Amino acid sequence: MSAAQKADPESLDPFRSLIARHCTEDHWPAEMHQCLLASKTIAEGDQCEKYLTPQQARALEADGQAAVENMATGSAK
């Protein structure tokens, strides 16, 4: 498993918050919730995106990319 697949739990906190916010605000379907809860790896979690509408997926992807960029520059929000 690569470093990208196995991350320090604390480094994932911004992503957990982002996912939780989108789940609530974007009204994700129950299938998405169940899929994420059953996921044991990042790759498995990535497969859950099929349960999102294109608009939900774009919103999550845009915020996720922003979080990655913030981490890279050291300006986490």
Q: Got the DSSP string for 16-71?
A: HHHHHHHHHHTT--HHHHHHHHH--SHHHHHGGGGGS-HHHHHHHHHHHHHHHHHH
The whole-number pLDDT of residue 42 equals 83
What global pTM score does this model have? 0.74
Q: Give me the residue spans of the domains in the chain.
A: 31-72
Confidence of residue 7 (pLDDT cuts 50, 70, 90): low
CA distance 76 to 46: 22
Question: What value, to the nearest 5°, has the Cα angle with vertex 52 and ends 49 and 58?
Answer: 85
Confidence of residue 67 (pLDDT cuts 50, 70, 90): confident
